[in-house]
Amino acid sequence: MQSRIIFTLFFVAQAFVCTKAQQIMFDSLEQVNILVGNMDKSSISDSSWYLENYSIDYPSTEKVKMIEKYSNSASVEVYFGSWCSDSYTWVPAFLKIAENTSLGKELSIIGLPKDLAKREAYATGKNILKVPTFVFMRNGVEIGRIIESPIENLSDDIIKILVSR
């Protein structure tokens, strides 16, 4: 009887894990398999590029406090390409900041294909032309974006967006 219960639980757990698998598609432009769709950090955090850039451009304690102060009710949608060198640099750096502030509470990570026409299926109505694109929202309204790479540096660009609205 116990072995049947354990056996059943094993298959239920396995089915659950399989339904949570990250979506992968073959990108004909890059000729590689890429990650697409909604995901959590664990889908990318074991990548060499993620580990290499996780602490790049990490802000001072004062800037982290400032981001925390102004990140109330803000959410961020992170659009990236698992094929894109700018995404390799800036997504891990942003996620480290988000993990250490309230930005990490309301965060979506979305992988996109390189083909612009195919992106619409994953970023409907968002007009994402370059990746990574970090879309900052407050109360459902977009308040700013960081597109491809920061203008000044990552923390200052985040602060300017959060403070301005």
Contact 86, 146 (CB under 8 A): no
User: Pairing relation of β-strands 74-80 and 107-111?
Assistant: parallel
The helix, strand and coil proportions of the chain, stated in percent and rounded to the nearest 5, come to 40, 20, 35
Domain boundaries, the chain: 36-164
Over residues 88-113, the pLDDT tens digits come to 999 999 999 999 999 999 999 999 99
Measure the CA–CA gap between 53 and 93, rounded to whole angstroms.
6
pLDDT: is 83 or 29 the higher one? 83
The token duo for 6 is 């354990």
- Write down the pLDDT at residue 3: 44
Structure confidence at residue 2 (pLDDT): 53
Q: Which pLDDT score is estimated for 6?
A: 38
Topology given in CATH for the domain delimited by 36-164:
Glutaredoxin (3.40.30)
Strands 107-111 and 37-39: antiparallel
**The two structure tokens encoding residue 88:** 């390799």
Contact 34, 27 (CB under 8 A): yes
